[in-house]
């Protein structure tokens, strides 16, 4: 009972700072919901063939006979938090997309597909041959299965093409693939969501936009990983960040690891001016940087926090060094600026590392 009360407090805070969270957390029902029972009855098999047929069905009323689709993010309920289930389900979708007749997988990571601001600035990176739609969604435990919502959106217009539901049945999901985010991950996301009072705080996105603004301001900072919002990476994969700002600004980027320890990662000893120009398509690590962001154990949820200011920061922490105290407190200590009339904007992305 005490755990449920604590969770309700976290849910309330998350809805205020990130996005609403209207479902129960880690509350696995013994009996599927009526909605899931109906889907179960209409879904005779649970393999890539059945999933492929469902994907094709999403384009029954579309004006194009086929689309080139990129895979976006799948996150838990309305939290925009990733879990290992997301990567497992992405792998299932890849198998299914190989059997569809109407969808062709655009197998290239497209952070721009998740955020219009980033898509516009990174047009050269994506070139002419790119996806015209994106498949993304969310999921929640339902009985012994996992109920997923799949959304297909037109990237040119932002219009929703189709939306459907698919139930991952009991026995299909490996026992070691967790579905719900941990209380610790939820708590950390809440604490990092807004660090500077009065700043424009942006979280890692609504289902399509990639970043969501929670205060009225003309200062917008966009941040995404190369796999989009709520991404899940495997051991040995490399992470890239994409950032844009609509104002010239001073910028700090922090990394928070699975243990909640924060480090300043940009600017760093390898380079970086500590500034971002208005309209700049900034990639980190950059193409000329002499390092890469290689992901590996310990596995779990990690965070990237970016803070931009129209005035210089008064201090600069040592790069790649553990900052003392909780991540939120440690980062906040380095965010004071020389002028009281500074305008600041924040952005947060959350990603998961799995074996």
Q: How far apart are CA 269 and CA 265, in angstroms?
A: 9
> Are 187 and 281 part of one and the same domain?
yes
Q: How far apart are CA 297 and CA 258, in angstroms?
A: 9
Task: Indicate the pLDDT class of residue 206, thresholds 50, 70 and 90.
Answer: very low
Strands 200-203 and 344-354 come out as: parallel
Burial (CB count within 10 angstroms: exposed 0-12, middle 13-18, buried 19+), residue 310: middle
* Whether pLDDT at 182 is above 60: yes
6 occurs within a structural domain: no
> Are 92 and 236 part of one and the same domain?
no
CATH number, domain of 291, equals 2.60.40.2550
8 occurs within a structural domain: no
In this prediction, residues 112-118 reach a mean pLDDT of: 58
Quick one: what percent of the chain has pLDDT higher than 90?
52
10 occurs within a structural domain: no
226 occurs within a structural domain: yes
350 occurs within a structural domain: yes
pTM: 0.80
* Whether pLDDT at 4 is above 70: no
What local confidence, expressed as pLDDT, does residue 226 receive?
86
> Are 71 and 213 part of one and the same domain?
no
- Sign, CA dihedral 303-309-315-320, equals positive
**Among candidate residues 108, 138, 168, the one where a domain is terminated:** 168
Q: What is the residue whose two structure tokens read 């990176």?
A: 125
> Are 260 and 294 part of one and the same domain?
yes
**CA 278 from centroid of its chain's CA atoms:** 24
> Are 290 and 324 part of one and the same domain?
yes
CATH number, domain of 57, equals 3.40.50.10610
> Are 236 and 139 part of one and the same domain?
no
Quick one: what percent of the chain has pLDDT higher than 70?
75
What local confidence, expressed as pLDDT, does residue 310 receive?
93
Q: How many CB atoms lie within 10 A of CB 80?
A: 26
Q: How far apart are CA 310 and CA 290, in angstroms?
A: 28
> Are 29 and 121 part of one and the same domain?
yes
> Are 158 and 187 part of one and the same domain?
no
> Are 266 and 194 part of one and the same domain?
yes
4 occurs within a structural domain: no
Q: How far apart are CA 243 and CA 231, in angstroms?
A: 16
> Are 274 and 323 part of one and the same domain?
yes
What's the domain count of the chain?
A: 2
Going by C-alpha positions, the residue among 78, 301, 74, 73 that lies closest to residue 182 is 301
What local confidence, expressed as pLDDT, does residue 114 receive?
56
Quick one: tokens of 158? 């932002």
pLDDT tens by residue, 284-316 = 998 888 888 899 999 999 999 999 999 999 999
What local confidence, expressed as pLDDT, does residue 260 receive?
94
Q: Are 117 and 213 in contact (CB under 8 A)?
A: no
Report CA-CA distances (Å) from 245 to 68, 250, 251, 283. Answer: 29, 10, 10, 12
> Are 161 and 187 part of one and the same domain?
no
Quick one: tokens of 339? 């002028």
**Among candidate residues 139, 168, 197, the one where a domain is terminated:** 168
Residues composing the chain:
355
Going by C-alpha positions, the residue among 105, 66, 73 that lies closest to residue 90 is 73
pLDDT tens by residue, 30-58 = 566 666 555 555 555 556 788 999 999 99
81 occurs within a structural domain: yes
Range of the domain at 68: 19-168
> Are 164 and 26 part of one and the same domain?
yes
5 occurs within a structural domain: no
Task: Indicate the pLDDT class of residue 20, thresholds 50, 70 and 90.
Answer: very low
Quick one: tokens of 21? 């969270």
SS3 assignment, position 296: coil
**Among candidate residues 133, 168, 203, the one where a domain is terminated:** 168
* Helix (H) / strand (E) containing 16: helix 2-17
């Amino acid at each position: 009972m005490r755990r449920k009360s604590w969770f309700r407090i976290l849910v309330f805070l998350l809805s205020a700072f990130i996005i609403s969270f209207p479902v129960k957390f880690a509350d696995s029902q013994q009996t599927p919901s009526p909605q899931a029972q109906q889907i179960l009855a209409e879904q005779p098999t649970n393999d890539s063939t059945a999933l492929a047929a469902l994907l094709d069905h999403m384009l029954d009323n579309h004006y194009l006979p086929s689309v080139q689709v990129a895979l976006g993010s799948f996150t838990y309920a309305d939290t925009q938090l990733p879990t290992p289930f997301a990567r497992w389900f992405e792998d299932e979708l890849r198998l299914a997309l190989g059997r569809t007749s109407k969808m062709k997988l655009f197998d290239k990571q497209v952070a721009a597909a998740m955020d219009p601001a980033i898509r516009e600035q990174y047009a050269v990176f994506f070139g002419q041959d790119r996806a015209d739609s994106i498949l993304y969604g969310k999921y929640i435990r339902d009985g012994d299965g996992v109920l997923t919502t799949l959304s297909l959106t037109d990237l040119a217009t932002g219009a929703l093409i189709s939306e459907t539901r698919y139930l991952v049945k009991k026995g299909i999901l490996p026992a070691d693939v967790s579905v719900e985010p941990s209380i610790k991950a939820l708590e950390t996301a809440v604490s990092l969501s807004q660090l500077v009072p009065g700043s424009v705080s942006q979280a890692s996105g609504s289902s399509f936009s990639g970043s969501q603004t929670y205060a009225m301001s003309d200062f917008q900072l966009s941040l995404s990983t190369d796999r989009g919002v709520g991404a899940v990476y495997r051991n040995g994969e490399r992470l890239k960040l994409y950032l844009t700002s609509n104002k010239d600004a001073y910028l700090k980027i922090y990394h928070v690891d699975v243990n909640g320890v924060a480090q300043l990662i940009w600017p760093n000893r390898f380079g970086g001016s500590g500034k971002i120009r208005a309209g700049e398509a900034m990639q980190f690590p950059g193409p000329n940087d002499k390092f890469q962001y290689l992901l590996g154990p310990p596995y779990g949820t990690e965070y990237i926090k970016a803070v931009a200011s129209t005035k210089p920061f008064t201090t600069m922490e040592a790069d790649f060094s553990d900052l003392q105290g909780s991540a939120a407190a440690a980062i906040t200590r380095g965010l004071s600026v020389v002028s009281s009339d500074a305008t600041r904007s924040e952005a947060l992305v959350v990603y998961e590392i799995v074996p």
